[in-house]
Chains A and B, each alone.
Chain A
Amino acid sequence: AQKITQTQPGMFVQEKEAVTLDCTYDTSDPSYGLFWYKQPSSGEMIFLIYQGSYDQQNATEGRYSLNFQKARKSANLVISASQLGDSAMYFCAMRDLGGATNKLIFGTGTLLAVQP
């Protein structure tokens, strides 16, 4: 069965510093996708970044990058130059690209607090 593990319930970071949010996954499927979502206090889920299992390079989207280590089954999110507006819950998720459904499996999330 597929599983996503986020071991950091909460993190603090100083404004303008970089922070890494950990995510490990478990799947027996060779084809899968990994996602990171941000959930501010308002509740909506905001898509940040995507990494396919066959992608050769780590995904980047502005200040967000995904440190993809396939052999270790980890997909850590790196936020560079943290801003106060980055304070939110962050969820790692995985989708089985070879399956018949399109459902995402989510981790339990990491609460990030950016301090001025």
Chain B
Amino acid sequence: DGGITQSPKYLFRKEGQNVTLSCEQNLNHDAMYWYRQDPGQGLRLIYYSQIVNDFQKGDIAEGYSVSREKKESFPLTVTSAQKNPTAFYLCASSPGQMIEKLFFGSGTQLSVL
């Protein structure tokens, strides 16, 4: 079955540590996205990529970094510069620029030890 796979499901970060969240899709979609979800809030866009080797900052990119070396993969690194990283992170993809909907992964819950 085609879909988006996020791993791990739960992740713990120590102070000053960088951690990387994985997102893989086999839908052959061009565009991929990372969203952050905090309790009681909607989703906020961190980064997005519309094509391989290209990505743009979203609304809350500070303290995060991404790469898009392959069409299927869009990993998100939460750096030590992100002072409040505890949140639920959702990866999504879409076929291209003109889409009707995003397809989402099942998310990664990141917590700080």
Contacts and interface: CB of A to CB of B under 8 A. Distances in A.
Contacts of A108: 40-42
Contacts of B33: 103
Contacts of B35: 106
A99 to B, nearest CB: 9
B70 interface: no
Interface in A64-116: 91, 93, 97, 100-104, 106-109
A4 interface: yes
Contacts of B107: 43-44
Interface in B24-73: 31, 33, 35, 40-45, 48, 50, 56, 58
A91 B58 contact: no
Interface residues of A, number: 24
Contacts of A101: 48, 50, 56, 97
Contacts of B31: 102
B74 interface: no
- Nearest first, the 5 A-B pairs at minimum CB distance are A106-B42, A45-B104, A43-B107, A106-B43, A44-B106
Interface of B: 31, 33, 35, 40-45, 48, 50, 56, 58, 88, 90, 92, 94, 96-107, 109
25 contacts: A33-B100, A43-B88, A43-B90, A43-B106, A43-B107, A43-B109, A44-B105, A44-B106, A45-B90, A45-B92, A45-B104, A50-B101, A93-B43, A97-B98, A101-B56, A102-B31, A102-B48, A102-B96, A102-B99, A103-B48, A106-B43, A106-B44, A108-B40, A108-B42, A109-B42
Given A43-B107, A102-B98, 20 more contacts: A4-B42, A9-B40, A43-B90, A43-B106, A45-B90, A47-B102, A47-B103, A50-B101, A93-B42, A93-B43, A100-B97, A101-B48, A102-B94, A103-B48, A104-B102, A106-B35, A106-B42, A106-B43, A107-B42, A108-B41
